[in-house]
Amino acid sequence: MTTRIHPPDAPPPHEPDDERLPCGRLLSQVWTDWEEGVTDAHRQRCPHCRAAVADLEQLETAVRALRDGAADGAAGADAADGAAAGGPGEAGAGSTASRDADIAARLTGRVMDLVRRELRPGRPLPLGEAGEDLWIMESVAARPLRAAAEEVPGVRAGSCRIAPAGTAGPAQVTVAGRPVRPTRVTVRLEIHAPLATPDLPRLAERVRRHVQAAADRHLGLDVAGVDILVTDLIDEPDSGEKGHGR
């Protein structure tokens, strides 16, 4: 029997950093300024800032429509239930309410999944050479790297954070008015290792090689380094099974 400290589907605990747009501005600050009606010359011209505001405006419109539609639907369901109450239709009213609650729960789940994907995709990561302006969102890049780690038998991948290497803030060097972005990234991956692992550093190195190979093969990311953090030791599944790769 496998003993796990964390349930199989528990999300890895981590606090995502505030996303920074390619122009150097924090996404949260751009949204705050929009909500408060604060504007400046940069935000009016910057395509990244304007795109961020457009996304938020669309979200607000969609959520408002969703809320209004849900209110109308609830009013209609209440009216139908009220008409059916007190007679043979009571059972029907209960099943209608139950079905509506089920639909509402699924809708809420879908909307929240969508909002999480839209609002918290992580930071954009550089692809290619400095002047190419090619990017991939962190959440997209993390998936093949986590899968690669789980190719090592017994390893379960947790949080995978990827960041441009060597930057603590917006790039200061510019070429033709555009910031020269870093081209390399660093990966920080948390894993659960098998309890019986005799040599954890060797296991971590093996995971590191898998991750670096995947970064090149699946993404074309230029990885400056891979930090592996063993956050837990778990009972290994039956011998011969691979890790819990997806």
Using CA atoms, how far apart are residues 7 and 219, in angstroms rounded to an integer?
Answer: 30
| Residue 7 or 11 having the CB closest to another protein | 11
Considering only CA atoms, which of 27, 14, 238 is closest in space to residue 146?
14
Structure tokens at 69: 């539609």
Least Å from the CB of residue 239 to another protein: 27
Does residue 50 contact residue 24 with C-beta atoms inside 8 Å? no
Minimum distance from residue 236 beta carbon to another protein (Å): 22
Distance of closest approach, residue 14 Cβ to another protein, in angstroms: 12
The answer for residues whose C-beta is within 8 angstroms of residue 139's C-beta and 6 or more apart is 117, 120, 121, 122
Tell the smallest beta-carbon distance from residue 39 to another protein (Å).
Answer: 15
Q: Between residues 69 and 82, which has the closer beta carbon with respect to another protein? A: 69
Q: Which two tokens stand for residue 172?
A: 């200061």
Return the number of the residue (140 or 233) whose C-beta is nearest another protein. 140
Residue (11 or 88) nearer to another protein, CB: 11
Distances (CA, A) of 118 to 56, 82, 137: 10, 39, 11
Smallest separation, CB 154 to another protein (Å): 20
Of 138 and 190, the one with the shorter C-beta distance to another protein is: 138
Q: Residue 1 or residue 176: which is nearer to another protein going by CB? A: 176
The helix (run of H) or strand (run of E) holding residue 11 is: none
CA 161 – CA 141 distance, rounded (Å): 9
Phi, psi of 163 (to 5 degrees): -140, 150
CB of 161 to another protein, least distance (A): 12
* Residues contributing to the site for another protein (CB under 8 A): 9, 11, 22, 45-48, 50-51, 54-55, 58-59, 61-63, 65-66, 69, 103-104, 106-107, 109-111, 113-114, 116-118, 120-122, 124, 127-128, 132-143, 178, 217-221, 246
